[in-house]
Amino acid sequence: MDIQFWVWLIVIVITLIARANKKKPQPFDQESNVPPNSPSSETKPVTFEDLLREIQAAKTPKPVTVSNTPRKVVQPQDFEDYDDDLPDENKSLEKAPSYYADDKIYETYENAKKAAFSRVSLEETMKVEDTEVKFGQFKEFKKREAKALASEYADELRNPKGFKKAMILNEILNRRF
């Protein structure tokens, strides 16, 4: 057999042995109903307050001492809050220009809106008797019917004066060459 086959077989055997030697999971203790990896019930659980105290204790700097001078404890500086003097954030910092005060256009528009209800409407002012009605005044705007090309040729062939055109048409349609 090929040497490559034996190399792969050895690698597979070593992998299987390594997996078999790994730590097997601990069996579940059915009497105490406690999973094998859970902390024991004898230890007290850590509360949030305890964790918070540990974190704050780690953040506070330790007193610095100088060996040549007597021990002097350096206190951390007091915290100064700069947010106390700030005004409300809801107040706008921009001053928007007032277009209504500057332009007469808006005043004219508002006056026209108010006066629109007091005016007489177009329906009330128009009389049907004043309307001039002419029949056929729109005939020139009608779409003209386009004649078919074949009907034009047929009209030319029926006309005795159109013989010359008929001969030319005959030459075009019946080519010899």
Per-residue pLDDT tens digits for 95-152: 766 766 677 888 888 899 989 888 888 888 888 888 887 888 888 888 888 878 888 8
pLDDT in tens, 35-45: 555 555 567 78
Whether residue 107 lies inside any domain: the answer is no
Residue type, 109: Y
Position with higher pLDDT, 133 vs 28: 133
Number of domains in the chain: 1
Q: Is residue 158 part of a domain?
A: yes
Residue that wins the pLDDT comparison between 56 and 85: 56
Helix (H, G, I), strand (E, B) or coil at 34: strand
Answer whether residue 37 is part of any domain.
no
The verdict on residue 82 lying in a domain is no
pTM over 0.95: no
Percentage helix, strand, coil, to 5, in the chain? 50, 0, 50
pLDDT digits (tens, 9 = 90+) for 57-75: 887 776 666 556 555 555 6
Would you say residue 45 lies in a domain?
A: no
Amino acid (1-letter code) at residue 142? K
Whether 168 is covered by a domain: the verdict is yes
Task: Tell me, yes or no, whether 137 lies in a domain.
Answer: no
Cα-based torsion angle of the residue sequence 103, 109, 115, 120 in order, rounded to the nearest 10 degrees? 140
Q: Is residue 157 part of a domain?
A: yes
Ramachandran bin of 33, using left for φ above 0, alpha for ψ from -120 to 50, beta for the remaining angles? left
Domain that holds residue 160: 150-177
